[in-house]
Amino acid sequence: MRDLRITMAQSMLHWEDPDANRRMFEEMTEGLSGSTDLLVLPEMFTTGFTMRSKELAEGMDGPSIAWMKALAAGLKCAVYGSLIIADNEEYFNRGLFVDPSGSVTAYDKRHLFRMADEQDHYSAGKERVVVEWRGWRLLLQVCYDLRFPVFSRSRAIQGRGDYDAAVYVANWPEARRYPWRQLLIARAIENQAYVIGVNRVGMDGKGIHYAGDSACIDPRGEVVEAEPSAVQLVHRTMDGTSLEEFRKKFPVLLDADEFELR
Classify residue 137: in a domain, yes or no: yes
Write down the pLDDT at residue 155. 84
Look up the domain containing 223 and give its range: 4-253
Write down the pLDDT at residue 158. 63
H or E element that contains 19 = helix 18-28
Classify residue 262: in a domain, yes or no: no
Write down the pLDDT at residue 146. 98
Check residue 259 and give left, alpha or beta (phi > 0: left; psi -120 to 50: alpha): beta
Write down the pLDDT at residue 93. 98
Classify residue 261: in a domain, yes or no: no
- Degrees to nearest 5, angle at CA 197 with 4 and 113: 145
Cα first-last separation, the chain: 32
Classify residue 112: in a domain, yes or no: yes
CATH of residue 49's domain is: 3.60.110.10
Q: Mind telling me the catalytic residues?
A: 43, 109, 143
Count of all residues that appear for the chain in the document: 262
Classify residue 162: in a domain, yes or no: yes
- The reply to whether the predicted model has a pTM over 0.85 is yes
Classify residue 218: in a domain, yes or no: yes
pLDDT means over runs of 10, the chain (262 residues): 97 98 98 97 98 98 98 98 97 98 98 98 97 98 97 80 96 98 98 97 98 98 95 98 95 86 82
Classify residue 95: in a domain, yes or no: yes
- Domains in the chain, number: 1
Residue among 177, 179, 157, 155 nearest 166 (CA) = 155
Write down the pLDDT at residue 257. 86
Classify residue 258: in a domain, yes or no: no
Three-class SS state of 117: coil
Write down the pLDDT at residue 256. 86
